[in-house]
Structure 1
Amino acid sequence: MSEDFDWTPHLWDGEEVLWQGRPDGRFRFFLQTQNIALIPIGLLFLAVGSIGVLGLLLSLVSLIVGGSVAPIEESFVMVLFFVVGGLISIVRPRVDQKRRQNRRYAVTTQRALVADHGNQQVVAATAITDDLYIDAALGKFTTVKLNAWMNAKEARDMPVVLFDRDMFSMQKVLFGGYTEKGVELRYLTDGREVKNLLHELKTNAAETNTI
């Protein structure tokens, strides 16, 4: 649970907060299964690039000590590998960790909300309706995804892909960590209870529509 965010200015008339929380803030290499292959690739780039960094340092030492320098064109290319590998395997998970530490979540009588604790603003929200699609990856830390646009049949018909469709956007691949679709409540310790609460609210919304 997290009670360090004031949801009151962001609530609709008559809306009440039923649950609030925050994601687990520990460092994680693997941010999501869709792009889990990025970390091994990043570590490989980092290892290969380390050879280039070492070669470049030896070339500079040779220049200082003996006045001559070995060819360093290949070293510069491998240094680029080192930089890209570091961005993917170290910087990217670290940025995601900071992002998670700054996230706050709430489930109200009408909506699921995601807020940024730093600027005290709600950054994502979805209404809890009778057609809300709820997907939960249960475990020690549960991630609950809410996509109002997707019904169960559409979910079954979706092709299974290894990477997100926008993975080639450099900013998202290197620094985004994940792409939020709808509302995503990530790495919750009480995720099972949150999932049950959402299903209960969805059922209530369906019953209200039938009246």
Structure 2
Amino acid sequence: MVFPELWCMPQLFTASIAAFYEGYYANKGIGVHWRTVAVEFKADSNGDIREVKLKNGRVLEADIVVGQVEESKGGIKTDEFFKTSVPDVYVVGNVPTLPLNLYNNVMRIIEHVDHARKSAEQAVKAIKACEDGRKTVEEYDYVPFFFSRSFDLSCKFYGNSGRKATVFGDNNPALPQRFRTYILDQRWKRLLEHSLKV
């Protein structure tokens, strides 16, 4: 896995949570490469891409390479129907960057299995409408939330993550999962204080 960021999912994970996941993945034999990007694709004599060179100098073997599409904010730019900059190419799952009503149509990436399923439904509706000669389908509107499962790990996130976190338990990746992290921004802190007073 290759990430340009400082660590895995920095928009959600703190450095300590990311270190736990990186160690856990390493214990499962999965290689991770942080702070780098792909800079070159190497083809074999048949013209098939077989290697990807990273900015940090490492070379990785490749089985599948997806063609060039327009990107935005770390994802593949789409419209509200998940159509990309390449004609007749749609992208679903956790890689599209799309406009959302909740964020005043600012482009966002949503990393969640529920969104992945619903984005696929929306793309199929848009493709079917185009085939039937209809110009549009109902606009996609989604309220983000996030959870993830990897091996026997599970994490859940509600709301926007901040950087000040309180950890309960032991986050050593060699031990069974036994920790929780609470991240509260000032708005949530005020709401919590208000609820306690009531």
TM range, smaller chain: under 0.3
Radius of gyration: which is bigger?
1
- TM-score relative to the length of structure 1: 0.20
Q: State the TM-score, normalizing by the size of structure 2.
A: 0.21
Higher helix share: 1
Higher share of residues assigned strand: 2
Q: Which has the higher contact order (CA 8 A, sep 6+)?
A: 1
